[in-house]
Amino acid sequence: MRASYNWLRELSGVDAPADEIADKLTGAGLEVEGVERLGEGLEGVVVAEVRGVRPHPHRDRLRLVRVFDGAGEHEVVCGAPNVPDAGGRVLLARLGATLPGGLEIAERDLGGVVSRGMLCSEVELGIGADAAGIVVLGPHDAGAPGDAATDALRLRDVVFEIGLTPNRPDCLGHVGLARELALLYGRTLVLPAAQAPAALVEEGDALLAAGPARFALPLAAPPAGRVGPRVEAVRPAARGPAVEVEIRDAERCPRYGAALVLGVTSGPSPLWVRYRLHCLGIRAISNLVDATNLVLMERGHPIHGFDLDKVRGRKIVVRAAADGERMATLDDVERTLTADDLLICDGEGPVAVAGVMGGADSEMGEGTRDVLIECAYFDPRSVRRTSRRLGLHTEASHRFERGVDPSAVRAVLARAATLLAELGGGAVVPDGLDVVARSIEAPSVVLCHARMARLLGVEVPPAFTRRVLEGIGCEVLDDAAAAIEVRVPSHRPDLAMEADLIEEVARIYGYDRVPTAVPRVRPSKDGTPVSIRFDRRLREAAAAGAGLTEAITYAFVAPGALEAARVSTQAVPLHNPLSEERSVMRTSLLPGLLEAAAVTRRREPVSVQLFELGTVFAPGDGALPIERPMFAWLLAGPRPGWIGTDGALDFYDGKGRLEGTLRALGAFTPELRLDPAIEQLAPFLHPRRAARIALGGRDLGVLGEVHPDVCGALGLDARAVYGELDVAGLEAATRALGVAQARALPRYPAAVRDIAMVVREGHAVGEIMDALRDAGGALVERIELFDRYQGEHVPDGHVSLAFHVVYRDPQATLTDKRVDAAHAKLGATAEARFEARLRA
């Protein structure tokens, strides 16, 4: 909401600096997000009177205009098509002025004639959107030749950009903001008395019982006397039949008011109107349309003007649309409606989508003579549904869906009729219509002072409380020592219970004045679930124990990415995604991590060593999909060495990260199993370079090189290694392992023997080591592979392996004889089980 400082000052009577007002509003919950100062750069612009116009000697499209600027006459060259005749007033930028756009006005030779100044358009002065011609002042506009434009025409303002929360529809107009301002400055808001058609016919609540109301009132003869300044009432009888209003849907249209202004002439608005609208970010269109917009911005209540001649049958019917009914809205779009939409119709068909947008057919235009002004209260939820369904968010729907003031209908109509007549030169028919099909009662609420003190932690004086409640418009029903009862104002649909009033008092009192107290937090009996603590342990283990860096990728991905990554495509789709790229929930962390690696490596081919702990999603049978936390890691690119790199990251790096993470979690080692079914289980992995991961006998994940086709499809230039673990399973395995227990250090020395052998490729080293350990029996403390070699001196298809075998008897010092005997069994086993050829 853009708000004019000048206007707020006029309405509220508060005369304070703009910055102070901005701070006050922000402090009261009406956040001023921006302050824009208008009218700078207009210092050298004055009102000037045209004294004569003659053609340019050399240029057809230019004219020489003699103007009087209060001090003397100057001749300026002007190309605008709308230079007025002698006596017309224009705006002259004098020599030496610098316009808001940065243009410096100096003597300029234009086609051989020196121009001493410039006649300006709205756009050149930054005071409007009209660039077609220069500003020509009309009879409504003040200013004598030589007057500074900023002063004479008040072309200086400060605009507040206010970020309104949706609970404050009352502040969507300047009157509401002025009410707040008056309260904040301890004043009483006094709005100028409405200059209005004197008699509006009240229709009783009997209509409520009768259901949808049908109503026809002749527009009666005007009472004696003038209604407002420069407004004449006319007898409608002279111009034809009466106008009839019928509400058929009291639920969605509780109240509908109408007024008539006859005999208007469409034309441009005076400069003050155009400037005010410009400040508020609204384009000036014509006096008739501008009048309705100005009332909107003043009262925050949308009104609509129909060209009465185009209202067929001189009849307004408010009814639900038929399913599939069509109408063209003002924006020239043919809309298809449903039975949940409310229409304003004339005698033959729809003329407006109620509360959202008017129709093209009944729009006010250049030839409009008589105007029917609509001011209604529509059900906020209904307007919102229609507005959303049509994708039409308008100034009107924005206000109606938040809730306008139902009891303001007459005042707003009166104001609109008066202004329209004033700007359009017409006359108001004093008898309007105010059809009430359903009355909307503002509730009464009790505020208990003690309860407020308990909730806020501060005692607010009851007198202050009363002043605030009255200041926002409440009517005090009962003011006792312990509590105050009020009827909330109809312009505050957000106030319905005590808490609402406490907030009102607190925000005006000032949150900053509420003292700060040391909190007391009583422990709850449940505490933090173990799983949440485990998440943290796991992340820290991956970073500190395995040197992995954490990624956080989007939980929604492209369906194509799931397919390309060869992970499950049984995904949970979004109903309203932002784009195809993020339209389903991920079923695996692989696509996101691969993308992260690819993005980085496209920029710079660095080493990527990432992990992520995130949720994957799958459709479920219950109300909600299945969410499963997963831990995954991905390596790609060079393996960092001490100086330079040390080859490319491979499977064993991936395995090392797994081991490092697990070691940091609880000193246990994973079992990696080659599984012939890996292609079905994890088709995203290389079929010959992948394994299942088990812990404590339970399958918890997979590890392997990413299938080269997957890397290719997802744009990664390098080989990648990927592993994933089910977090819940990992947590259970960790828990089953328990806390690592201290072990006494051995008291007797170990004896180390080496065994070296050549075996055929294909025997898993792990199996050989297991067999050797079994063969050695209890004396074998551990076996370490210390060399693995293929190449010269080793036959093709074979591999040379060398192990340290550490023997120890925890109870005694080992003798050579015992060790030799055990070691011999190892050799024999290797030869027998693996056809190993032992090497000396």
| Position 605 contacts another protein (CB under 8 A) | no
Dist. CA 301–CA 256, nearest whole Å: 13
Amino acid in position 152: A
- Give the side-chain half-sphere CA count within 13 A for 379: 20
CB atoms closer than 10 angstroms to residue 696:
14
DSSP 42-67: -TTEEEEEEEEEEE-SS-TT-EEEEE
Burial (CB < 10 A; 0-12, 13-18, 19+), residue 73, is: middle
Nearer Cβ to another protein (85/526): 526
Q: And the tokens for 259?
A: 């007024």
| Identified binder of another protein from the candidate list 546, 672, 733, 751, rule CB under 8 A | 546
Nearer Cβ to another protein (643/739): 643
Dist. CA 246–CA 259, nearest whole Å: 14
| Position 700 contacts another protein (CB under 8 A) | no
Q: And the tokens for 696?
A: 């404590």
Least Å distance between CB 398 and another protein? 8
Least Å distance between CB 755 and another protein? 31
Least Å distance between CB 631 and another protein? 13
* Binding-residue total with another protein (CB under 8 A): 96
| Identified binder of another protein from the candidate list 71, 322, 476, 544, rule CB under 8 A | 544
Least Å distance between CB 237 and another protein? 44
Q: Which of residues 367-386 bind another protein (CB under 8 A)?
A: 380-381, 384-385
Q: Give residues with Cβ within 8 angstroms of 830, minimum separation 6.
A: 755, 757, 759, 768, 771, 772, 836, 838
Cβ–Cβ under 8 Å, residues 183 and 508: yes
Q: Give residues with Cβ within 8 angstroms of 833, minimum separation 6.
A: 768, 771
Beta bridge partners of 67: 50, 74
| Position 523 contacts another protein (CB under 8 A) | yes
Please name which of 248, 219, 225, 255 lies closest in space to residue 372, comparing C-alpha atoms: 219
DSSP 730-742: HHHHHHHH-SPPP
| Position 224 contacts another protein (CB under 8 A) | no
Least Å distance between CB 22 and another protein? 11
Q: Which of residues 431-490 bind another protein (CB under 8 A)?
A: 454-458
Dist. CA 36–CA 639, nearest whole Å: 56
Cβ–Cβ under 8 Å, residues 28 and 163: no
Q: And the tokens for 422?
A: 């004033």
Nearer Cβ to another protein (299/398): 398
Dist. CA 783–CA 805, nearest whole Å: 5
| Position 355 contacts another protein (CB under 8 A) | no
Nearer Cβ to another protein (111/547): 547
| Identified binder of another protein from the candidate list 512, 792, 796, 816, rule CB under 8 A | 512
DSSP 463-521: HHHHHHHHHTTPEEEEE-SSEEEEEPPTT-TT--SHHHHHHHHHHHH-GGGSPP-----
Nearer Cβ to another protein (444/790): 444
Least Å distance between CB 211 and another protein? 23
Least Å distance between CB 24 and another protein? 11
| Position 339 contacts another protein (CB under 8 A) | no
Least Å distance between CB 611 and another protein? 7
| Position 395 contacts another protein (CB under 8 A) | no
Least Å distance between CB 277 and another protein? 24
Nearer Cβ to another protein (728/806): 728
| Identified binder of another protein from the candidate list 268, 349, 625, 827, rule CB under 8 A | 625
Cβ–Cβ under 8 Å, residues 437 and 267: no
| Position 146 contacts another protein (CB under 8 A) | no
| Position 647 contacts another protein (CB under 8 A) | no
Q: Find the part of the chain contacting another protein (CB under 8 A) among 69-77, 149-157, 591-599, 709-717.
A: 591-599
Q: Find the part of the chain contacting another protein (CB under 8 A) among 129-137, 365-373, 541-549, 688-696.
A: 541-549
Least Å distance between CB 495 and another protein? 11
| Position 391 contacts another protein (CB under 8 A) | no
Do β-strands 483-487 and 549-550 pair in parallel, antiparallel, or remain unpaired?
Answer: unpaired
| Position 652 contacts another protein (CB under 8 A) | no
| Position 632 contacts another protein (CB under 8 A) | no
Beta bridge partners of 45: 93
Q: Find the part of the chain contacting another protein (CB under 8 A) among 119-127, 354-362, 516-524, 819-827.
A: 516-524
Interface pattern 707-746 for another protein (x via CB under 8 A): ----------------------------------------
Least Å distance between CB 435 and another protein? 24
Beta bridge partners of 784: 804
Beta bridge partners of 377: 255
| Identified binder of another protein from the candidate list 529, 647, 697, 797, rule CB under 8 A | 529
Q: What is the 3-state secondary structure (H, E, C) of 389-455?
A: HHCCCCHHHHHHCCCCCHHHHHHHHHHHHHHHHHHHCCEEEEEEEEEECCCCCCCEEEEEHHHHHHH
Cα distances (angstroms) measured from residue 105 to each of 38, 54, 97, 108:
20, 22, 5, 8
Q: Which of residues 794-833 bind another protein (CB under 8 A)?
A: none
| Position 328 contacts another protein (CB under 8 A) | no
Amino acid in position 565: A
| Identified binder of another protein from the candidate list 217, 543, 737, 794, rule CB under 8 A | 543
Nearer Cβ to another protein (225/647): 647
Kind plus residue range of the DSSP H or E element containing 294: helix 287-299
Dist. CA 32–CA 21, nearest whole Å: 9
Least Å distance between CB 185 and another protein? 17
Nearer Cβ to another protein (244/405): 405
Q: Which of residues 21-40 bind another protein (CB under 8 A)?
A: 26-29, 31
Phi, psi (degrees; rounded to nearest 5) at 490 = -70, -15
Q: Which of residues 489-508 bind another protein (CB under 8 A)?
A: 497, 499-500, 502-503, 506-507
Interface pattern 147-176 for another protein (x via CB under 8 A): ------------------xxxx--------
Least Å distance between CB 603 and another protein? 7
Please name which of 223, 260, 235 lies closest in space to residue 245, comparing C-alpha atoms: 260
- How far the first Cα of the chain sits from its last, in Å, is 90
